[in-house]
Structure 1
């Protein structure tokens, strides 16, 4: 079992750690572009001008279509809602693949990797080739839609990164 001072290798992070704070070390192999991730969606009603704010907690969400205001309800109108992108709140989002270091891979085995999600100020902290130690919460991503029906109760996992410590900027150094 790993000591509490040494970071886990990716191989040591098991399903029992889901929902817990873990620290892993590895090399960054792939980084996505930084994309905007919606946090709050703002809509306005075409009929009455009412503004609606919708919190977005997942990576996918169901947009609102009908106005819930009392004015539209009293007038028996189904006010059409228009998404106001300029008023909506977005957060920077980046995804990176972290692979276990060569010295942590048993002979004859394939190195394992894990996905890390970086939000807000944590974006742009890593680049491919960086040897890093990441601290964050190990979480599941349940499948949605048709993939959920095929996967059953299986879910992918990722690390919601809270801090990054660099050991080497690029692997050759």
Structure 2
């Protein structure tokens, strides 16, 4: 883009960001059809929006300052968790823990999480509706609202279910403490090895509103 269309990429001497949006994926899944065998693949899934969060800033590329020698460590990618440099690049420093993030030299994205539920036509008789978390970034935020029926195209990923892990861990530790020691244990420090819970999530590339029975040209539902 910079070589072919420099006048489009640069606006007031500042590079403009571009994001790839893929849509009209030929096969549309229901939430119930998503399995771990499809993790890492591009998919399209349909459902009804039940919940949306407010738009928040997400740290994409972070620049850090070493608090030992003052060296700037730029452009550390952040993906689903806060990540510091493993070690200061200054050869004589060797600092591994003391870093300060520099917001003015870091890059942030708009970020929103929405909750999608199965359409009524996809729920088998006697079953509870399944739900799925969708992550929206940049120009996709604030596009839909609860009650909208949508088709989302994006990448299926797995992320740690932190709430379930913490809640279950604290309960088990406290119960064990009351039974074995009488006083109980607060927090997760004494838990040791604990089960990690994960959940499926879609990082959206495109989202469009539709009717429940609407299938565009070239699309078909997964059966």
TM-score (norm 1): 0.77
How many Å separate the matches in 1 of 2:128 and 2:111? Answer: 29
Which residue in the other structure is 1:171 paired with? none
Q: State the 1:52 CA deviation.
A: 1.0
Aligned partner of 1:159 among 194, 198, 202: 202
SS at the partner of 1:33?
A: coil
Structure of higher CA gyration radius: 2
Which residue in the other structure is 2:45 paired with? 24
Name the structure with the higher strand share: 1
| Residue 50 (str. 1) matches residue 94 (str. 2) | no
Which residue in the other structure is 1:89 paired with? 107
Deviates more, 1:110-119 or 1:76-85: 76-85
How many Å separate the matches in 1 of 2:69 and 2:48? Answer: 54
Unaligned runs of 5+ in 1: 169-173
How many Å separate the matches in 2 of 1:156 and 1:42? Answer: 30
Which residue in the other structure is 1:127 paired with? 145
Q: State the 1:127 CA deviation.
A: 1.2
Which digits, 9 at most, give the CA deviation of each residue in 1:14-71, with x for residues without a partner? 222111111111100011111111112112345654211142332212434974324x
Unaligned runs of 5+ in 2: 1-24, 167-192, 212-223
Which residue in the other structure is 2:120 paired with? 102
CA contact (8 A) 1:32 1:96 kept: yes
How many Å separate the matches in 2 of 1:45 and 1:102? Answer: 54
SS at the partner of 2:157?
A: strand
Aligned partner of 1:11 among 24, 32, 43: 32
CA contact (8 A) 2:134 2:202 kept: yes
How many Å separate the matches in 1 of 2:95 and 2:136? Answer: 39
User: RMSD value over aligned CA atoms?
Assistant: 2.9
